[in-house]
Structure 1
Amino acid sequence: MMKNISFSAINRFAYFSLMFGLVLLVACQPEVKLPKGDSDNGGLTLPGGFEAVVVADSIGRARHLTVRENGDIYVKLRVANDEGQGIVALRDTDDDGKADIVNVFGDYPEIGSYGTGMEIYNGYLYFSTAGDVFRIRIDPEKLVPEGEAELIMRDDYKNAEHGYEHIAKPLAFDNEGNMYVPFGSPGDVCQEFNRRPGMAGMFPCPQLEWHGGIWRFDANKLNQTQKDGYRYATGIRSVVAMDWNDKENSLYVVQHGRDNLYRTWPDLYSRWESAVFPSEEFFKVEDGTNGGWPYYYYDQIRGKKLLNPEYGGDKELATGADTVSMPIMGFPGHYAPNDLFFYTGDQFPERYKDGAFVAFHGSTIRGPYPQAGYFVGFVPFEGGKPSGPWEVFADGFAQLDTIVNTGDAAARPMGLSMGPDGSLYVTESVKGKIWRIMYPGDKEDFSDGDLEELAKRKESRTNIRKPDEEKDNLEKGLLEVGAQTYNVYCATCHQANGLGDGTRFPTLSGTKWVRGNKKELINVLLQGLEGQIEVDGVQYNGIMPAHSFLSDAEIAGVLTYIRKSFGNNSSSISAVEVSNARKEIK
């Protein structure tokens, strides 16, 4: 009988047997059980169907993180604690999503602040300080590694005589034993004197020899310095957000754009233009990529590279821009992209597969317009490039809409990583909170309707949308309220011109009392001041009564007015800052 069965029939029998076996195998796989999300998702607004649980809170100023295959979490702190330890290890032993073991460790020299890198690679935990990259072998049985940290690379700070900015060292690894480390520009736009208004940039820029690019190193070689590495890419000003995309077998980064267009070129750029430009550029980085810094910046609204004013730019000239790399996407200016992660898990709906999550840490220099960023964005990908516009994925970190000053934000999203079950983990850098974002439902139920709330936020929230040049100028309202309050309560003593009388009442012009520490100035108004003080070399010995009867908004307004008037040009003070100072006094 058997010899009468055709070969094709045997193949069909084998095929269906194999398919039945695979279906049975999949059916027998244990279902991943996710913890229950917090009732308020830890304060976050997420797409429909997503939940978040706060894993830990107040662990310290958290930077980047990584998650081990068993779910253990390792976080690099910005600076080490008093014992010189700068890594936090966390473990959830009862699967409720909350870390019940939190250990701080680290025995290595912490050079500078901005420690940030944290990656697991080939059985080692790699991490960075501002000046060094270390690794320590992970113990399969223990949460905290017990071996000594090995020095992989030390930054020898070339060009340090010009000062040094953009010192953070995020890390990325390819699949061939290489480690990628950015060396940010030592200044803003490659000037002989950094951030000097109206000063031309140096050409050719000598800083590009050792900075403003990405270097490739042997991930397994000890005690390297920058000269041991290979300059893989150049013309990239400052990178904190970077990730190796395994699907494309390529490095991707989101760089911080330049600062201070208005402050350094006030005759050319308005304060509004300085707030929204230049773009934070999303690059696919290959061997030899030139991002164009310091000669060019990217205008995300017009979609073109333009010459920086330090090199003859006039907001229109693009001479030579075709010789440098264009970004694959341009985000609005000063969002501060501080981490990038390509999602490879299977827990989230299919539209997120292989897409890029970006943590926008939030701006500091957008005034007089609302500070922006402070959310986690998402970029869908296909064929190695964005397949649609960027989206808002998680918002609510700041716990308020209009952020006048960076310090008003309750949290600033910083690091991104994925757990073994496909959950997305997010750190923040103010107090050190960690969220675990999950999708517990049926992925097939996810639809465009679940994105509506975040789409509305993209167009309405002042920390995300493009500011209106007139309506969103925060100083306009603050200065009007402040001027009225000043005329009622302050002008009698300090005079309408703010110069005082030179004997009893001191000047408010150019003095450190006004232009210095904001908290101290707020406290003067809340608590009053008596006894002898010195202002511009003149001794005063009078009494200034407390003005705590004024509202937080009135105090914020009058102090902002003083700090912006009478020859002063200092940053605004917000009602949130006044409220916080008032609470501390109580």
Structure 2
Amino acid sequence: MKCFSNCSRRFLSLAWPVLPCALVLGVSIAFIQNGPLPALPKGDPDNGGLFLPGNFEAVVVADSIGSARHLAVNKNGDIYVKLRRVGPKGGSVALRDTDNDGKADIIQNFGDYEDPGNYGTAMRIYKDYLYYSTAGVVFRNKLTPGQLIPEGKPEVILTDDYKNKVHGSEHIAKPITFDNEGHMYVPFGAPGDVCQIKNRVPGLAGQDPCPQLEEHGGVWQFDAEKPGQLQKDGKRYATGIRSIVAMDWNKADNTLYALQHGRDNLVRTWPALYSAWQSAVLPSEEFLRVKEGSNAGWPYYYYDHMQGKKLLNPEYGGDGKKAGKGAEFEQPIIGFPGHWAPNDLFFYQGDQFPARYKNGAFIAFHGSTIRAPYPQAGYFVCFVPFKNGAPSGPWEVFADGFAQRDTIINTADAKARPMGIAMGPDGSLYITESVKGKIWRIMYKGGRSKFGKSQLAAMEERKNRTNIKTPDEVKDNLEKKILAAGGKSYNLYCGACHQGDGKGDGNRFPPLAGSEWVTGDKKKLIEVMLHGLNGTITVKGVEYNGVMPAHNFLKDEEIAQILTYIRMSFGNKSTAVGVTEVKRVRNMQ
């Protein structure tokens, strides 16, 4: 009896079912997996830096595992995370907590497969198989009870044979979800912004009809267990959806839900129609109830949550006011502010949290990149209460503090960006982030029946923070701060040659004022700043033959500030250069 009692205490404190003492007693693995769950571990004193509703606690399970995307938690508590890129040790990570302190003490990389891109995303468990994706392939591995790392070569379930053909390769992440009837759902994102013949060209009309909708811009349904499928083997389930990373099957109403990433940077392509403020907050990120045959209207329409309707895109004759036939397309159940980047969706089925969370939707907003000159926004996890397939109340801030700062000027300022959401067997919620790869486990420790407004009050106040609130068009414009920083760096690194007024020296060094090199292609300008320039060039009809030294010793943020400054000073009236744009050009070399 003493042996059994000791063994019982031991296996109840573990999150995995390999227990010699239990095996001696003949206790089956199945019993251990389905038996009493261990007590919840202590949360970190600071909740791992997160702000949560009252009586919720968080513990950091692991830190710095690599750029984490989606994750899945097995019924024994093992955690599986998809990394954005496949490294020397593989493209996935498995984690196990052997002593139930909330911290993973076994962390192993795995994944013997190729991924030429950097958009690996999906990680889901379906019928005891681990499903995960690269930009172009959905794989699966059989999970063996008690074994952390799946054995054998991954099985190819689906290959995107259109990924790098004809149209290009934007929005090619492959999140996945499953219904109750053996189907797998995979989005094929739009290869461009708004279906132009030449992508992202200012003022260029969109194609009508849009040929990209034949193989992109929608969701396809596949057999969840059939290997070797191509896109043609699936059925186009829904269309008119530009880009999906957040998607989940809601078991409560047996329906697919997804969030669409809205189009980019309206002010850059249509400056006569949209202001920088409108471009920062529009178009809405659409939370869609996706039924078979749904058409959400991309590329012809976008949703404006402030006007509460779908509007015609400017590439198709819109001006920010024309509704056209927008009402005929699938309307979102919620329109969130623009560029928050919804990157995972999870409908909560557990019983650990208060009853109001049951069947509600958790959304991870990865955070914006193109809101300048306004603060970047998102970078938090939202909760939407649900009832009968529709929101039953306004959305709430559930977890914030990932970025570790209030005003996020550049995306790179954020210390963490929430990415993936999954539930553990005890109802705990797990969240990944993509900057370094931290994982949080969020638990509820209070009385479930006493949870109410007082526990949510502090979270409601966080809606006033700059990463969540709608920015004031004047007060929250950061252009002066950005220009001040850029001007200081310009005078230090550039002013001696190009002069303080940007007019050059009239001899060796060309003017920046009115220069087509400055106001034109941003990529070309960034390349000059990073790598320098030698030889004869023509600026404003005059030839110059000097040497521009490379400035790649500067940080991405400093280069972005300098280039923004020269594009907005000396009479120039061009758009800002973002840190992400500099980083992208630097990484291309």
Q: 1:569 to 1:299 in 2, by over 3 A?
A: closer
Counterpart-to-counterpart distance in 2, 1:53 and 1:68: 18
Match of 2:504 in 1: 500
Please tell me whether residue 33 in structure 1 is matched to residue 43 in structure 2. no
Please tell me whether residue 142 in structure 1 is matched to residue 147 in structure 2. yes
Secondary structure in 2 matching 1:453: helix
Matches within 5 A, 1:171-250: 171-250=176-255
Matches within 5 A, 1:462-473: 462-473=466-477
Please tell me whether residue 304 in structure 1 is matched to residue 314 in structure 2. no
Q: 1:535 to 1:129 in 2, by over 3 A?
A: farther
Counterpart-to-counterpart distance in 1, 2:493 and 2:211: 54
Secondary structure in 2 matching 1:80: strand
Among 372, 375, 378, the residue aligned to 1:373: 378
Match of 1:81 in 2: 87
Match of 1:445 in 2: 450
Structure 1 residues 191-216: Cα deviation after superposition (integer angstroms, max 9, x where no partner): 11111111111111111111100000
Please tell me whether residue 273 in structure 1 is matched to residue 283 in structure 2. no
Counterpart-to-counterpart distance in 2, 1:244 and 1:429: 23
Match of 2:158 in 1: 153
TM-superposed CA distance for 1:446, in Å, is 1.7
Counterpart-to-counterpart distance in 1, 2:493 and 2:296: 53
Counterpart-to-counterpart distance in 2, 1:131 and 1:395: 32
Among 95, 103, 110, the residue aligned to 1:105: 110
Contact 2:508 2:546 in 1 (8 A): no
Secondary structure in 1 matching 2:303: strand
Matches within 5 A, 1:334-413: 334-413=339-418
Secondary structure in 2 matching 1:86: strand
Contact 2:193 2:264 in 1 (8 A): yes
TM-score by length of 1: 0.85
Matches within 5 A, 1:514-525: 515-516=525-526
Please tell me whether residue 70 in structure 1 is matched to residue 80 in structure 2. no
Q: 1:327 to 1:127 in 2, by over 3 A?
A: same
Please tell me whether residue 538 in structure 1 is matched to residue 548 in structure 2. no
Among 244, 260, 265, the residue aligned to 1:260: 265
Structure 1 residues 468-493: Cα deviation after superposition (integer angstroms, max 9, x where no partner): 11111111233256547767996454
Contact 2:163 2:169 in 1 (8 A): no
Unaligned runs of 5+ in 1: 1-28, 525-531, 578-586
Match of 2:426 in 1: 421
Contact 1:35 1:96 in 2 (8 A): yes
Match of 1:18 in 2: none
Counterpart-to-counterpart distance in 1, 2:562 and 2:118: 35
Q: 1:383 to 1:486 in 2, by over 3 A?
A: same
TM-superposed CA distance for 1:155, in Å, is 0.4
Q: 1:236 to 1:482 in 2, by over 3 A?
A: closer
Counterpart-to-counterpart distance in 1, 2:360 and 2:497: 61
Among 115, 121, 134, the residue aligned to 2:120: 115
Matches within 5 A, 1:482-493: 482-483=486-487, 491=495, 493=497
Matches within 5 A, 1:284-295: 284-295=289-300
Structure 1 residues 32-68: Cα deviation after superposition (integer angstroms, max 9, x where no partner): 5111111111111111111100000000100000000
Counterpart-to-counterpart distance in 2, 1:397 and 1:440: 21
How well do the aligned residues superpose, as a CA RMSD in angstroms? 3.0
Counterpart-to-counterpart distance in 2, 1:539 and 1:265: 36
TM-superposed CA distance for 1:408, in Å, is 1.0
Counterpart-to-counterpart distance in 1, 2:204 and 2:290: 30
Q: 179-188 vs 509-518, which deviates more?
A: 509-518
Q: 1:87 to 1:561 in 2, by over 3 A?
A: same
Counterpart-to-counterpart distance in 1, 2:139 and 2:126: 12
Q: 1:542 to 1:332 in 2, by over 3 A?
A: closer
Match of 2:16 in 1: none
TM-superposed CA distance for 1:519, in Å, is 10
Q: 1:535 to 1:141 in 2, by over 3 A?
A: farther
Secondary structure in 1 matching 2:166: helix
TM-superposed CA distance for 1:226, in Å, is 0.3
Q: Which amino acid aligns with 2:468?
A: I
Counterpart-to-counterpart distance in 2, 1:144 and 1:50: 31
Among 280, 283, 287, the residue aligned to 2:288: 283
Counterpart-to-counterpart distance in 2, 1:187 and 1:542: 35
Contact 2:353 2:444 in 1 (8 A): yes
Contact 1:515 1:563 in 2 (8 A): no
Secondary structure in 1 matching 2:460: helix
Unaligned runs of 5+ in 2: 1-34, 538-543, 584-589
Secondary structure in 2 matching 1:407: helix
Match of 1:133 in 2: 138
Match of 1:433 in 2: 438
TM-superposed CA distance for 1:30, in Å, is 4.9
Q: 534-543 vs 226-235, which deviates more?
A: 534-543
TM-superposed CA distance for 1:161, in Å, is 2.2
Q: 1:169 to 1:484 in 2, by over 3 A?
A: closer
Counterpart-to-counterpart distance in 2, 1:332 and 1:294: 19
Contact 1:75 1:89 in 2 (8 A): yes
Q: Which amino acid aligns with 2:387?
A: E
- Identity among equivalent positions (%) equals 64
Q: Which amino acid aligns with 2:272?
A: D
Q: 151-160 vs 276-285, which deviates more?
A: 151-160
Structure 1 residues 397-424: Cα deviation after superposition (integer angstroms, max 9, x where no partner): 0111111111111011000000000000
Contact 2:561 2:577 in 1 (8 A): no
TM-superposed CA distance for 1:396, in Å, is 0.6
Counterpart-to-counterpart distance in 2, 1:557 and 1:219: 48
Q: 472-481 vs 119-128, which deviates more?
A: 472-481
